[in-house]
Amino acid sequence: MRREGSPWQGLGVVLLKELTDHLTSARMRVLEWLVVLTALAAVYAAITQIRDVTAQDPFLFLRLFTTARDPLPSFVSFIGFLAPLMAIGLGFDSINSEHNRRTLSRILSQPIYRDALLFGKFLAGLGVLAISLVALWLLVIGLGLITLGVPPGGEEIARALLFLLVTIIYAGVWLALAMLLSVIFRSAATAALVTLGLWLFLTVIWPALAPAIAQAFVSPDDQVLQITLGQDLARLSPSTLFGETVLAILHPTTRTLGPVYLDQLQGAIMGAPLSLSESIMVAWPQIVGMIAVSILLFVAGYVVFQRQEVRA
Amino acid sequence: MSETVIEATGLTKRYGAAAAVDGVSFSIAPGEIFGLLGPNGAGKTTTILMLLGLTEISDGEARVLGHDPVREPLAVKRRVGYLPDAVGFYDNLSAADNLHYTGRLMGYGSVERKTRIADALERVGLSAVAEKKVKTFSHGMKQRLGLAEILMKDARVAILDEPTNGLDPQASVELLELIRTLKASGVSILLSSHLLDRVQSVCDRVALFSAGKIALMGTVAELGRQVLGGGYAVEVEADAGDGVALRLGAIPGVRGVRETAPGRVRLLCDRDVRPEAAAAVVSAGGRLKQLALDEPSLETIYTRYFQSAEEEARNAA
């Protein structure tokens, strides 16, 4: 049952077309402004706060990402909101708009497989997200250099780069989800609403709900089980995974993301930073989890799309 | 190459227990215009999608230019041009840019694309608006742009789904004319429609679809003979003359004579009997006022066929 030809035929063409569409669209203008404003707000908040507390912090530059000043959130939490919203904004109408414009059957009657169309669209979305996030990251670093006047160390740059990579992966999760729902729902408005609803649920409600569920099902005597179960449940949400990963990467003193037992603290020097590779080890399950989720969501979208009727 | 361009044998598409297309077989010869006709929902579009490999075939087999659309969809799609029902284009791109995208998907280089696109737009009369955005186009212009895409691909087979649907009479006449020129350049055409009379004029052969099956297939004249008894009807209007009706009835090939009004006779016959009819009237001493030939219309064939099918069903019940 082998089919003839490569599933990637036409992938580059679709990718370029979608990239061009995205980059020339009104959405991109909005994204650009969001990027600039986010960078300015985050750096302003962080700088004023850092100046106040200036300490002998060996990772001063990373504070740029994580310091918040009321009422503004930190850059990291900004990104935690912005990246999913950007991804959903780029992906929610990727397939159903082809249906609604009645271009789908015409494009699929060209010598390409559906694989190329779906994957090309995903890669184009991811490319646009990567471009925006890299621009944002560079803006923050640049503004930080100017205002702080302290050059970042090698490890700080490595950690900041890793943070950028993780953010792109995190955005990829939401892009894959948005594309899956754009395959399932014929109406773009429905797809957008459902994706946003899921995002709201997984980001805001679920992390609060998970411990409550654990409490409801585990007897209060078994505190450890209660905490770990609550945490495991919360980790079903990609935003929890992202938050934990960022914590481990940008706060080098983070030793574990779960509960700490007393015997584990034996011999530990409190407040001593971990090396980069050790920090990565701490967050590795979370990083792999995010990659896995985005692959799973993409595969689900792929399967549904392959079985879908092309007729309008 | 093979003798037939498209060959379908026992093509079946099931959705659950219901069969949308049920054991359809037909073949299309090179350079032929073949019409799939029938009401909406009769399975025409599903049949077309199966031929293009855009939907799975539940049962049966299809061959397009000798390729199997299930196993070798790319080979089929490279050689076949498809104009979907109410075709859509990217509104924010110009006509030429839309074709450039298709051309890139076909794998043409940029120089080749430019000449092919200019040529195709010229042939469908859209050169003047090549750089205009498609959102300014009328429905008829989009259909023509769809034909331009087929021309650009240099397709050997064109599959047109409801090409005249939703077009005003002027635009659909123009489109049918374009389809004729397409045929003249050696392209085989499969077109589907529920507008019987419009399509009758361009089709060499037709298949009438009904509830997923082909009810009738052949040239329009053959179908007329099959369903209406006589393939032709000749209207004779003449002033008196004795026994005109009798003499007309004696002409070989006439199957029936019916007087529709005083001095007006309708002949049902197997062939065009106008010369003999004129001679008969004159030799009977009558004065011929009018002589008209009604070619069988698909509309009549279609309604008559389904009327009789319904009656049979009722009688059987």
Chain B residues near residue A106 by CB distance under 8 angstroms: 82-84, 87-89, 102, 146, 149
Angle at which helices B110-123 and B139-153 pack, to 10 degrees?
A: 130
Note whether B105 contacts A13, CB cutoff 8 Å: yes
Split at pLDDT 50, 70, 90, the class of A280 is very high
Split at pLDDT 50, 70, 90, the class of A123 is very high
Average pLDDT over residues A282-311: 93
Give yes or no for residue A1 having a pLDDT over 60.
no
Beta-carbon contacts of residue B126 (< 8 Å; ≥ 6 apart): B95, B141, B144, B145, B148
Residue B148 confidence (pLDDT): 95
Give yes or no for residue B186 having a pLDDT over 60.
yes
B77: which 2 tokens? Answer: 């799609």
Model's pTM, two decimal places? 0.88
Note whether A106 contacts B149, CB cutoff 8 Å: yes
- Which member of B45, B88, B146 has the closest CB to residue A101? B88
- Which member of B55, B82, B89 has the closest CB to residue A103? B89
Give yes or no for residue B221 having a pLDDT over 90.
no
Least CA distance to B160: which residue of chain A? Answer: A106
Least CA distance to A309: which residue of chain B? Answer: B55
- The overall longest dimension of chain A from CA atoms, in Å, is 68
Split at pLDDT 50, 70, 90, the class of B3 is confident
Smallest CA–CA separation between A299 and chain B, in Å?
A: 20
pLDDT tens column, B231-277 = 677 888 887 666 777 788 888 878 778 787 777 888 877 777 888 88
Q: What is the mean pLDDT of chain B?
A: 87
Residue A53 confidence (pLDDT): 66
Give yes or no for residue B4 having a pLDDT over 80.
yes
SS3 content of chain A, % helix, strand, coil (to 5): 75, 0, 25
**ipTM for the assembly:** 0.87
Residues of chain B above pLDDT 90, percent: 50
Q: Is A285 exposed, middle or buried (0-12, 13-18, 19+ CB in 10 A)?
A: middle
Q: By C-alpha distance, which of A18, A69, A23 is closest to A46?
A: A69
- Which of B21, B92, B93, B105 to probe the A interface (max A CBs under 10 A)? B105
Note whether B105 contacts A107, CB cutoff 8 Å: yes
In angstroms, rounded to a whole number, what is the distance separating the alpha carbons of residues B225 and B208? Answer: 15
Residue B1 confidence (pLDDT): 45
Residue B229 confidence (pLDDT): 65
